[in-house]
Structure formats: structure tokens, C-alpha cells
Amino acid sequence: MSDLTSYQTWTRSTAIYDNPIIYPSLELAGEVGEVCNQVKKIYRDDKGIVSPTRKTDLERELGDVLWALARLIDDLGLDFNKVKEYNVMKLEDRKARNVIGGSGDNR
């Protein structure tokens, strides 16, 4: 798969749930928590060093985050590539206006 939309379409074949939007939203939150848990262990157990094993664990968890995000985007009837492009435009605009480091949704 060479683009996010193709990946998004492929995830439909692995989506086994009855609650569109709700399930992938909760899955996304849970998987982001698992990523954060791995980062916590880097500092708690590994003295701030990202070991090859921890990096592999993070890669797997980030893949789960990507799947849940793709499912949520798809359940909402959106296109992953368009979501990405909108984000790029928004951040480039903020960067050009020197407000990328600020706070608030509408800056």
C-alpha cells in the first residue's frame, strides 16, 4: 500500500465491530495509552534509552494506533489522505504566521 487511503480501505477487511465511530475511538485512546506506557518504561526501566526491543514494541503499538485512526476516519466517511493534507495546510499556515507554538484550535 503506497498511500493512506489504500491503507484505510484495506483496514475494512480487518474491522470486526458493531459500533462504528465508538469502537475505533475507544480503540484509538487505548492504543495511544499503550504507546505512552512504552515511553514511560523507557524512562522508568531503561534509563531514558530506547532499546531495540522497546523500539520494536513502540513500532507495533504505533501500528495499532494507525489502524484505529484509519478506522475512525473511514467510519466518519472521511479520506485519510485528505485529513493529512488538511493538517499539513493548517500547520504550514500556522508556521507562516509564527503561531505554530501557541495554543488554541483557531490560531
Q: For 60-97, what is each residue's pLDDT tens digit?
A: 999 999 999 999 999 999 999 999 999 999 999 999 99
Would you state the CATH architecture of domain 4-78? Orthogonal Bundle (1.10)
Residue ranges of the domains in the chain? 4-78
Tally Cβ neighbours within 10 Å of residue 11. Answer: 19
Contacts of 76 (CB under 8 A, 6+ apart): 21
pTM of full prediction above 0.75: yes
Report the C-alpha gap between 30 and 63 in whole angstroms: 13
H or E element at residue 100: none
What does the DSSP 8-state code read for residue 94? H
The pLDDT tens digits of the residues spanning 15-27 come to 999 999 999 999 9
